[in-house]
C-alpha cells in the first residue's frame, strides 16, 4: 500500500499508509495524526487540513482548483506550496509523498 510522510511543525515524522483513491486528510485523521483536523469532512469549506507539499512532490499533483484556491486564501500562513490534504488523492505515483503541517490550522 502506498505511504505518505507527514512532518509536523516540531519536526516529528509520521509514515502512514494511504489506500489508492483515498485522500490524505482522511488517511491522516483515520490514523490519528495531530495537526490535520478536517472539520468539514473534505468538502473544502474549512481549510483545517492545510499542508505544505514538499517541493519535489508539488508538480506531481493536479492543479489547484478555484474552490481550493479560495479556501487556501483563508488558511493560516498559506505558501506557494500549500494544498488542502482533502484534495490530494493517493495514486501509485504519489507513493512516498512528503507533506509538512503548519504550526496551527487556526
User: What is the pLDDT of the chain when averaged over all its residues?
Assistant: 96
Q: Using the 8-state DSSP alphabet, how is residue 23 labeled?
A: B
Record the pTM: 0.96
Mean pLDDT calculated for residue range 20-49 = 95
Please give the Cα distance from 33 to 4 (Å, whole number): 12
Q: How many residues does the chain have?
A: 106
Kindly tell me if the per-residue pLDDT of 58 is higher than 90: yes
CATH number for the domain running over 3-100: 3.10.20.30
97-100 and 3-7: which strand pairing? Answer: parallel
pLDDT tens string 85-95: 999 999 999 99
Q: What is the pLDDT of residue 106?
A: 84
Q: What is the pLDDT of residue 32?
A: 95
Mean pLDDT calculated for residue range 39-55 = 95
Please give the Cα distance from 91 to 73 (Å, whole number): 26
Domain edges within the chain = 3-100
Amino acid at each position: 500500500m502506498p505511504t505518505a510522510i507527514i512532518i509536523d511543525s516540531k519536526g516529528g515524522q509520521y509514515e502512514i499508509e494511504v489506500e489508492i483513491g483515498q485522500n490524505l486528510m482522511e488517511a491522516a485523521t483515520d490514523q490519528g495524526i495531530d495537526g490535520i483536523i478536517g472539520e468539514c469532512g473534505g468538502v473544502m469549506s474549512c481549510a483545517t487540513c492545510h499542508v505544505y507539499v514538499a517541493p519535489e512532490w508539488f508538480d506531481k499533483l493536479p492543479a489547484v482548483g478555484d474552490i481550493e484556491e479560495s479556501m487556501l486564501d483563508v488558511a493560516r500562513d498559506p505558501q506557494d506550496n500549500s494544498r488542502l490534504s482533502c484534495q490530494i488523492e493517493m495514486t501509485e505515483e504519489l507513493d512516498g509523498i512528503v507533506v509538512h503541517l503548519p504550526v496551527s490550522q487556526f
